[in-house]
Structure formats: C-alpha cells, structure tokens
Structure 1
Amino acid sequence: MAITKIWPVKDSLNRVIEYAKNVDKTENPDFLNSDLYQVLHYAADENMTRFERQYYVTGINCAVETAGQQMQITKERFGKIGGTLAHHACQSFKPDEITPKECHAIGVKLAQKMWGDKYEVIVSTHLNTNCLHNHFVINSVSFIDGKKYNERKAEYQRLRDTSDALCREYHLSVIENPTKRKRSQGLYQAEKRGELTRYALYRSDIDEAIERSMTMKEFYDYLRRKGYRIKGKIDSCALKLPHYPRFTRFKTLGEAYSVLQIQDQIYRQRGPEVREKSKEPILFFVPTPKKLQIEDILGFGEEYRKLRNLYRFFCYQLGIYPKNKGQVSMSPIIKEEVRRMEEISQQTIFLCKHQIDTYEQLKEKQTEIQTEMDDLISQRKKLTNKMRRAGPEEKELLSQQKRGLTDQITRLRRDLKLAAGLENRSLDMVKRIETINELVDNKKLISREKYAKTENYLK
C-alpha cells in the first residue's frame, strides 16, 4: 500500500535537494555491514569513499552530486528563474511490507514513467522512519522544451494510478477506495487531546440514538428531541445544532456513521421476530416538522428553553433531583454550554493567579510567557544536539532534562492559549458594548426627533 503526495517548492531549490539527499536517511544499511565498507572506511580518498557508499539516491536526467546546478542551468537557459522552483513528491509504503531495495526500485520506475522523458529528477529513499518512503524533487522547467510542469488534479491522479500499478506489479497492497475528504489538523489534534469537539458530540448523540431506536423514524425523532435539525436525502443527509451555522453530513463523521450503516446497525439490533415482520424502506427524505412548545406560544422562545434545560441539569448535578431513576440524557446544547463554562473557569483562574486587572497587563503577560517559552525551546534544541553526540549514560540524563523542559513548554503553551482566549473574549465584549451604545444613542436620537416633531405640531 503506497500513499502519494505532491506539492510545489517556492523558497529554495538547494534546500529541498539537500533534504532529499540527507545521508543519515538514505544510507544503505546492508552496505555498512559488508567487507567492502570496511575496506573503503580506511581509504585515504574520502570522495571515493563517499561515492562508493551506495546511498539510496538516484538522479534521472542529472547527476546526483550536481543536480542543483543542472536544474538551475536549465531554468536560466529558458529564462524561467522565478515562480515555482521545483515540485516535491512523496511515496510512502506500509510498515514492514517492502525492503529498502524494492522501495528505491519502485521509486525510480515511478519517476521514469512520470517525469523521465522531460524533467530532471532526484529520487531518494529515506530509511529513518518506520514507514519506508521515497522523495522526488522534480525540476519545474523541462530540459527538452522549457515548459513548466503543471501540478494539476489530473496529474496527481496519474501519479496515484502509476504508483498503484507498480505496487500491483510488486505484489503489494493497494488502497482501492481512498477517502477524498481530509480531516482538518486542528480537529484531529483536539480529538487527540480528548477535547469535546463538535464531531465527538455528534457521534456520541448518534450512538445514543441508535441504542434507543428500533426504526429510522425513532432514530430521527430522538435526535430532534435533543435539539438537532436534520435535512437531506440519504446520500447527503445532514444534521446540526441550533448554535452552529452549518449542517454536517452523517458520512463526514466516519464510515460507521453514514445513513446506510446506521440503518444497518438499527436493523441488526432488532430481535429475529421483528426482522421477519418488518423490513423498513429507506427514507430518502427526512422532513423537519414544526413543533410549537409552550415557550414559543408564550413568546419566550429558544433562549428560555436553553436556560430551563441548563437549570435542570445543574439541579441534577447538585443532587436536588434524585439520581436513582436511571441516567439522565444530557442535551447537546447543555454539553456545549458546560464546555464553555469550563473554559471560562480556567480563564478566571488564570486571571486570579497572575493578578491581571487590565488589558495592558494581559498583553504584558502574553509577551512574558512567549519570551520564556522561546528560551525553553532554545534550551531544548541545544539538548537535542548534545544527545546526538553523547554516550548512552549521558544521553539518558539529557533525555530526562529534555522531558522536564517539554513539560514546562506544555504548561506555558496552555497559559498562552488561555491568554489568547481572554484577549479575544475581551475584544468581543468591547465590540458588543459599542454596538449596544450605538443602538441606545440611535434610539435616543429617534426619540428626540419624534419629540421635536410633536412640539412643532402642537405649536
């Protein structure tokens, strides 16, 4: 199984070439244990020793040692020096599925089929991670006709198809139906930290609805009772809570949360008798009925309902309501409010701990935390450089010091995030106050105008 990526390089051509040719990542481990290496290690000619070490680096239409100069000469020859300098591609394989030699051979074949007829390419195989992977540095200008390489969607699809064909040729696994949607990095990190994200909230409520439903109608009704809005056909059915601006499709939450999978789970958890009697058809459209509640009739609306539910939740948590009648299902709106309250609570503790009373003091504290964090990061970097040259005992001691610095940096990053949240909240409050003042001034002005018109009319 190989995963492919490609992206443009616009900052430095030599940087990306040197990264691809890094000797610590591309050196052949089999050669290091051979008799030839032992002989060459004592040779006087270091250049010959370097050349014969058999790094997993290959140049296509260029020499490995002078690849950067050759690519630059091609650019100058056709007068195309600016813009995208090169393209950097990667081909990563499944752990323990392939040998370094096969990995490099597949990489060279892939580069020859994709770019070998028109472009200069460096192919390097990195062995420093659990997953063997190839790096490709492609000159952006063709040495044949001077045309620039266009990294469009069709070209990336060709790269993926060519890589899959080579994997099948070498009897390697292939991803048959790759997912096109990519999860955002911020959402991934938040879920990794165990935070209650919007997607995690949706998944937990859907799981709860599946357990308490015997039909898809019961499933949708249960979600609506919890405050969700649902719309769409079966392939694009989506849900959302009132305080979120956009709908989220069920299938975006994962393959297990598509409408067909949910229907299958509900069908499987029925008894055998129910399965025989009822084979429920798929609901191609999920209407959202309008339900009037007493708060709407009296004119209180959604805000009153949120406050009432929040009050009930806290009564339950404080023990005012009995807890021996089974577990109370918490509304997703209440979960969101609790999460915000926890955030505000942490920010309040931060303000009290550092005795911050003004916006200027908050900015000074942010600068102080950032300076301290930069200093610790610099110290940790120095320790990392020492660990590369240290012995086993000294390396263990330096590793402990590095872990201590990492813990301090983590705490400072948390404080910096709290300070940034306080700053945003404060600026938002200032804007709201200004908006309210403007509305009040406008109302006063309108009242004065009406009063003046009335006086003129009476005169």
Structure 2
Amino acid sequence: MAATRLIPMHVNKGKTLAQSLGDRTDYAKNPEKTDKGELVTGYQCDPVTVDEEFLLSKRQYEQITGRRQRHEVIAYQIRQSFKPGEITPEEANRLGRELALRFTKGKYAFLVATHTDRAHIHNHIVFNSTSLDGTRKFKNFWLSSIALQRINDLLCLENGLSVITPKPYQERAKRTAYPRRIKNRDLLCDAIDAVLQKDPGSFDELLKELQALGYEIKCGKHVSVKGKNQSRFIRLSSLEEGYTEADLRAHFLGHRQHKPRAKQSFRAEVRPFNLVIDIQDKLRSKGAGYQRWASVYNLKQMSKTLLFLRDHKIESLEQLNQLAAQKIAERDELLASVQQSERRLAEIGTLKKHIINYSKTRPIYEEYRKAGYSKKFLEAHREEITIHKAAKAAFDALGVKKLPKVKELSIEYAEILDAKKRTYTEYRRTKNEAQELLLAQRNIASLYAAERKEKEPDLRKEEQSH
C-alpha cells in the first residue's frame, strides 16, 4: 500500500533560486537516508548536478519564451510512502521512477531518492517545473493529487502490492485546498430549471423570473444574461443543448419538452468492497495459476478493472451482474427507441415525396381518366402517370386513407429528429457504461477461471486418493 502527496516548491525566503533548488535536492539526496547515495536515481539529469541542470533549463525557458520567472513554482515534489515490510528499497526506487515517468509523461527531468531512515520506506521525487525542451511549465491541474494517487494505485496492483482502502478519492476531493469552482453557465442552467418548475407561460415570463432572481437581461440580436457575480454576459445561444434560446422558445411553443440535465449515475453510499478485497488478495498471492493467467492476460487491464469496481461501489458479483443486466436493458430500450424514430423519419420522408409527386401529377392523371385511359394519351404522358400510380400504391402500402399536409409532416419530422438526437446521446452514454460493466465481468471471470484451473490437479489427486 502506497500513499502519495504532490507538493509545489517555491523559492525560500531570503534565498536565491539556485540556493533553494540546491537545498531541496540536497535534502532528498541525503546519504544517511539513501544508503550512502545508492538509492538515488535521475531521469534526464545527473543526481550530482541536478540543481544546476534544473536551473539551466529555466534559463533556456526565459530565452525561448521571453518570460521572466517570478514568484513561480521552481519544482514539484512527490512523496510516495509504502507500507512497512511490503517492499524492498530497490523496488521502491524503481516504482518511484515509474510513477514519475507516468505522471510527467517523460517531459520533465526528475530525481528519485528512496529514504530508509524510518519504519516505512518512502520516496522523495523532485521534478523540474520546466520541461526538457524549455518551452513550457508544468501546470498543476485541478485534482492533480488524485490523478497521481490513481496512477500510483495502478502501479501497486500491477506489482502485487496492496492499495489504499476505497474512500480516498471522494475524501481527498473534499479536503482539497482550493474548493471547486462552479461555472457560471452551470448556475444559469440550474436557475433556468428552477424557473421552469414554476411553469411560466412564455419565454418572456421566463426572462422576468430570471430578473427576479437577480440576473440582468440584455435583449438584442441574441438574448444574453449576467448574474450578480459575473463580469460578462452569457448568450443563451451558447449554452448546452436544451438551454439555448431556440430550445427554450421551442419548449414554450410545444415543439419540444425541456428535460433538466441528467445526474451522474453510480452515487451509492460507501459500503465495504468484498469483491474488490477478494480480487486484490488473489492478485497479491501470485501463485502458479496467476502466473499462467498473467502470461495470456493484460495485468494492467485487470488493475483498471479493480479500480472501476471500487469507484462504482460494486462489492459483489451479484451486484455487478445486476448492474450489468440493468444497464444492458436500458441500452436496448434506448436503441429500440432510436430505431423506431429512424423508421418513422424514413416513412415521413417517403410520404412527403409521394404527396408532392401525387399533387404535381394529379391534373395529368385526371385528363388521362377523362380520355378513357387512352393509349395515345398514356404514351404521351407515361412518366407522369407512372409517378402518380406509384404514389397511390405507396399510400395503400402505408395504410394512408386521408393525405396529411406536407407542413404538418415537416413539423412532425423536426420533432422526431430532435427527440432522436437526445435519445441517441443518452444511448451512447448508456452503451459505454454497459461496455465497462461487461468488460469487468469478463475480466473477473477470466481471473476466477484461472484459479479453478490451478486447483483442478489438486482436486483430481484428492479424488484418486479416496
């Protein structure tokens, strides 16, 4: 089990950039803590001159970009701590290097120093904030610490080590120093949902309700809205589907139904992960059956499956099978709805075509009938008469007794097409979720099948002995 922490490093008060880099890297390389320097390795840098090489890359950055580095992060430190007695110092150093490579994608030089001065072996990984090519700085993105922990969990699973119990990601997100910023667009969409629940009679009444909530409205070529704490107006036409000005006007005209944004699935309460713990123990045992299984199966994929089960609160095979069956049924139902819409759209398209053809050729056919179905008239107007007969045959095949208006069909076509687009978006999301659950089922089945094969020789010996 390994815990990680990402720490931005700044210039120390009263010291220069070079002195600060030297102090930080010297502490990490301390010979008394790193077996006289044997447990210190570097990537794209020499551990002896690492601070000078970091400093040189920063000077190159200033020359290439023309930007001066003031009050910025000079480097980042990753602390990676392992469970006592679970790993050797050499193996810990190797995993520290692999963690840094995956997290930085090999674009930043770093130093890995493994300390053994405490009961738990831990790594101090210092990587430069300036890239190797000197063109960019490392961006400490939102929830980067959580991304680091997930990469670390995958590494531990791939190497037969235990991982932290399943709460950390949500808990770490809550403890993040910088609270997550809610976008003004999301707040506006939530406000529109709240107003629509009051069932206003028109689009103008919707705008008045938004004004009552403190929003400033600007009407011109485009309707724009600005909240109390906003510096700029937001065009309704730039919002997501269902919240644009056109969508909201269509809602009040009865051409479409407004649906609030879908909530994220898998929000179950935190419960013990029996299945996860069971699989984790099997991965750590590394028996002969495991070795045979690992030779034909992707261990990294199985590690990702374990994290998937944990993140989605799946604690048993029964729960996994139930969720998969439920999601597959939902997927199939949405697909059937999409296919039904497509059939109706094709039917409307065919019907509109034949109605237009029928109307255009009707005068010719009336003359043909008045002429007593004359062969001479037929030869002169064969194309128009053939089109007219084909249209009548199509109406009979579709069971149409009274021809609808082309305008009504066009409105129906637009409504069905709009509904189909929304359903298809939901179908694709559900399909991806179903595929993830099915993949987890197959991965777990492969693991347990390998275990059964491993036990078969022992069972045969017991049967023969009896």
- Scaled to the shorter chain, the TM-score interval is 0.3 to 0.5
Q: Give the TM-score normalised by the residue count of structure 2.
A: 0.33
Larger CA Rg, structure 1 vs 2: 2
Q: Give the TM-score normalised by the residue count of structure 1.
A: 0.33
